[in-house]
Every structure is written in C-alpha cells, then in structure tokens.
Copies of this chain bind each other. A is one copy, B any other.
Amino acid sequence: MSVVVSTAQTQSYWASIDAEIDAYLKKSIPIRSPEAVFEPMHHLTFAAPRTTAAALCVAACELVGGDRDQAMAAAAAIHLMHAAAYTHEHLPLTDRPRPRPGIQHKYNPNIELLTGDGIIPFGLELLARSVGPARSNPDKVLRVIVEITRATGSQGMVDGQYQELGLDRLGSEYDVIEYVCKKKEGELHACGAACGAILGGGAEEEIESLRRFGLYAGTVQGIQGKRRPD
C-alpha cells in the first residue's frame, strides 16, 4: 500500500514540475509580433515531446536544497534546445527520402528550419536573462550556459544525431544504439541534473554524482525507447 502511495506521490511530484516548466515556457513565448515567426515558435516548442532532462534539472535543484524558481530558466532552455533538435530531425531534406513517421508538419520546411534556428538562441537568451538578486548569480548562470551548449552541441547531441543518421559509423548496431542514446538522451539528462545542482547551490560532489545519475538514467531511458516502435 505504501508503495502505491509513494508511486502516486512521485508521479504527482514530476507532474507538478512538468506543469511549472510548461507554464514558464508559455509565459516566455507569447505570440507577439512578428506573428509569422512567433506562432510557429510557440507551436513547435510544445509539439516536441517533453524530455525528462528538463524536469530532472528542477528536481536536482530542489534535492540540493535550492528553490524551484532557481532552475526554471535552465529547465526551459533544456526543453527548447531539445525541441529545436526534434524539429530539425524531422525536416524533409532532399537526402532524407523516407518520411519520418508520427509527425504532422503544420508548416513548410523553410519555416521549420528557421524556427529551430530561432529557438536555440532564444533558450540561451532566457537563461542569460535569468540573473537577479533573488535568483542566480552570473557565474553560476555562465557555468550552466557552458553545460547546456556543450551537451547540445557538436560533442553532445549533434554527435549522437550524426551517428543515428549513419553519417559516421562506429561499429556494431548495438554499439551505435548505445552511443546514440548516451549522446542524445544520456548527456542531456546528465547536463540537466548537473545544472539543477549548480543552480541550487550544491557542492561539487553533489553536482558530479547527480551528473552520473542523469547520464545513466537518460541512457537507459533512451535504450528502452528504442525498443518501442518509432
């Protein structure tokens, strides 16, 4: 019985974090002028599936004793970087003959390309603007910007996308799947957990142990996701 209660409590904890991140994102991306730019940005931000890496950022912040508010901009930035990557992964390029299933294209490819290009700097702008007396200090925010740009850039998520597209074959099919899941999901979750711990004022050991937890949890989640039909 206690297990049931605990599971329900855990689910409602994560659901409450997701709801707060969503509310923060909705407030941050009003549909303003130029509408032709912001309406797709709003739509594609919420069309991407939620990543638990963003929620993990908030949970890690609270775990080390920080306030939820301190991690909200970083969690939003992580979701935005993930949403931009998701949008670009589903772009119909001339050398991607197979349509990826399960996604409705509301906009034409030019708009989806440019919207992704706008979402990336917007996520980092949100984060850079999140400094304030009641919130985080500039050194922590800069450290978090470095964490997020690395995890989502050429040595992180982009490297995983290369492998996934078979642009740079590593080895056996299983090796590739493991590498892709580590780079795309593992390192994003590691980054989320580390950023939350940094912003919440965690000690270096706490930051590194939450990073390891995130890497493991994200990689396993990615591998489990691969078992389901796409």
Interface residues of A (CB under 8 A from B): 34, 36-38, 41, 81, 84-85, 88, 91-96, 108-111, 113-122, 124-125, 128-129, 131, 137-139, 141-142, 145-146, 148-150, 152-155, 158-159, 161-162, 165, 167-168
Contact = CB atoms under 8 A, between A and B. Distances in A.
B153 A128 contact: no
A142 B34 CA distance: 25
Contact of A149 (B109, B125, B167): B125
A136 B7 CA distance: 48
Contacts of A115: 154, 158
Contact of A153 (B125, B146, B159): B125
A36 B110 CA distance: 26
Nearest to A85: B117
Nearest to A120: B120
Contact of A154 (B41, B113, B138): B41
Nearest to A110: B165
Given A37-B158, A128-B146, A138-B142, 19 more contacts: A37-B155, A41-B154, A81-B121, A85-B117, A88-B117, A91-B113, A93-B109, A94-B94, A114-B167, A115-B154, A115-B158, A117-B161, A119-B154, A121-B152, A122-B154, A124-B124, A128-B145, A138-B138, A138-B141
